[in-house]
Amino acid sequence: MLDAATLDSLAAAFAALGRLHREAPDETALRGFRDLIEDWPLAALEPEGKDSAAGPSNAGPSNAGPSNAGPSNAGPSNAGPSNAGLPSAGLPNSGSSSAGPSNPGPSNPAPAGAAAVGEAGTADASTRTRWHGGTDAGRAATGAGMEQIRESARAGETPEEIRRDHDLLYGDTAAARVAPYESVHRGVDGLVFGEATLEVRAAYQALSLQAPKLNQEPDDHIGLEFDFMAQLTLQVIDALYGDDAARAEKLMTHGTDFLRDHLLAWAPQMLDLATQHAQTHFMKGVVLLSIGALDSYAELLDLPFERP
């Protein structure tokens, strides 16, 4: 049975990580993300092998029922990019010419950067119940990622340093150390706009979504694929609160197919490379948190998650 509280936690994590893979945070978003890392919605395994003490200890749906957290009261429309400091970088509705959402609602991009952790989904960080799913390896990656974000703050890493690392890592303005596009990793020729790109585009279009710079930048950027899973998950929650179980199941089938056929088919290897090439604690943290998030969603859907 689908649980809205669990889905809310996953939507929040995937929304935040999608934004941070797409664009480095500015000072406001960086400070907010660091402040909110202790409220990370997915469980972490500390080095000594115990669950992280940070955040709520239970993961039941009691705090996220329709009576206090339905999409009509606290969906993405109340947590737009204006609270985040990061430009919108996700998937607008099909037909929108801008990178940001044209209309509020679960089908539009969840908020960016810090706001995504605290506000994406249907509950805020203070009331969201941390989901204790995922394998030990995945929760260990989450714990290591959280510690890297803490270390980034302790080391005083600046937005400029993180932006430079993001640029060098993903090739924002230069050659990428680790290409962030699925087609590069899975295509025979290792080029962008390959077969995988078109398949991903079709998956977006099935939910009336599209890449922000259609035909200019590849649709299969890891940040956009993470953002797509966040938006799909929010639509599932919307369907659950609307008592539309059939739509919720149909959406989850679409999400399962996308996760299995796309993200899990290339992102673990790409993220493993990124952990080796990232030079700042912050970007290492983002990558490790992403590994943990993929592991958590894969376990929920009973899909294999294989790290290199």
Condensed to tens digits (0 to 9), the pLDDT of residues 268-304 reads 999 999 999 999 999 999 999 999 999 999 999 999 9
Q: Is the pLDDT of residue 51 over 80?
A: no
Phi/psi of residue 214, each to 5°?
-55, 130
Q: Which residue has the higher pLDDT, 232 or 56?
A: 232
- What gap in Å lies between CA 204 and CA 234, rounded to an integer? 14
Q: What is the pTM of this model?
A: 0.79
Q: Taking all residues of the chain, what is their mean pLDDT, rounded to a whole number?
A: 79
Q: Is the pLDDT of residue 251 over 90?
A: yes
- What gap in Å lies between CA 105 and CA 32, rounded to an integer? 23
pLDDT at residue 187 in the model: 73
3-class secondary structure, 204? helix
Q: At what angle do helices 195-205 and 222-241 cross, to 10 degrees?
A: 20
pLDDT at residue 153 in the model: 97
Amino acid in position 303: L
In tens, the pLDDT along 193-237 reads 888 999 999 999 999 999 998 888 899 999 999 999 999 999 999
- What gap in Å lies between CA 203 and CA 258, rounded to an integer? 7
Q: Which residue has the higher pLDDT, 197 or 73?
A: 197
Q: Is the pLDDT of residue 87 over 80?
A: no
| DSSP assignment string, 240-302 | HHTT-HHHHHHHHHHHHHHIIIIIHHHHHHHHHHHHHH--SHHHHHHHHHHHHHHHHHHHHTT
pLDDT at residue 185 in the model: 86
pLDDT at residue 2 in the model: 80
- If you average pLDDT over residues 62-82, what whole number do you get? 33
Q: Is the pLDDT of residue 247 over 80?
A: yes
- If you average pLDDT over residues 22-51, what whole number do you get? 87
Plot region of 20 (φ>0 → left; ψ -120 to 50 → alpha; else → beta): alpha
For residue 108, what is the DSSP state? Answer: S
Lowest mean pLDDT among 65-79, 202-216, 240-254: 65-79
